[in-house]
Structure 1
Amino acid sequence: MRLTDFWERLEQSFGPAYARSIAADHAFTELGGRTINGAIAHGIETVTIWRAVVASYPDRVPSQLR
């Protein structure tokens, strides 16, 4: 998954402002306790990050974006 696709999906699921907040503030267990921004900086693949988002927020992510 391209980084631009990742950000589009995140913003579609949460809205632009909340998506950026989640990316900066929510530490995901599936990402070794990293935030989205930290995981991207660490070189973790965006598809892996997206799967962590979906696992943590199953009710927020529309089925067509999973």
Structure 2
Amino acid sequence: MRLTDFWARLEEAFGAAYARSIAADHSFAGLGDRTINKAIADGIDTATIWRAVVAAYPDRVPSRLH
């Protein structure tokens, strides 16, 4: 998944402002307790990051975005 696609999905699921907040402030167990921003900086594949987001917010992410 391209980085631009990742951000588009995150913003569609959470709204632009909240998506950026989640990316900066929420540590995901599926990412080794990293934030999204840290995982991206560490070179974690965006598809892996997206799966961690879906796992953490299964009711928030529409199934069409899985």
TM-score scaled by length of structure 2 = 0.99
Per-residue deviation, residues 12-40 of structure 1 (Å, max 9, x unmatched): 00000000000000000110110000000
Q: Which residue of 2 aligns with 1:56?
A: 56
Q: Over aligned residues, Cα RMSD in angstroms?
A: 0.3
Per-residue deviation, residues 33-66 of structure 1 (Å, max 9, x unmatched): 1000000000000000000000000001011000
Count matched residues: 66
Of all paired residues, the percent bearing the same amino acid is 77
Q: Which amino acid aligns with 1:61?
A: V
Q: Which residue of 2 aligns with 1:3?
A: 3
Q: Is the aligned partner of 1:22 residue 2:18?
A: no
What runs of 5+ residues in structure 1 fail to find an aligned partner?
A: none
- Alpha-carbon distance between aligned partners in 2 of 1:54 and 1:15, rounded to the nearest angstrom: 15
- Alpha-carbon distance between aligned partners in 2 of 1:18 and 1:38, rounded to the nearest angstrom: 17
TM-score scaled by length of structure 1 = 0.99
Divergent runs of 4+, >3 A: none
What runs of 5+ residues in structure 2 fail to find an aligned partner?
A: none
Q: Which residue of 1 aligns with 2:41?
A: 41
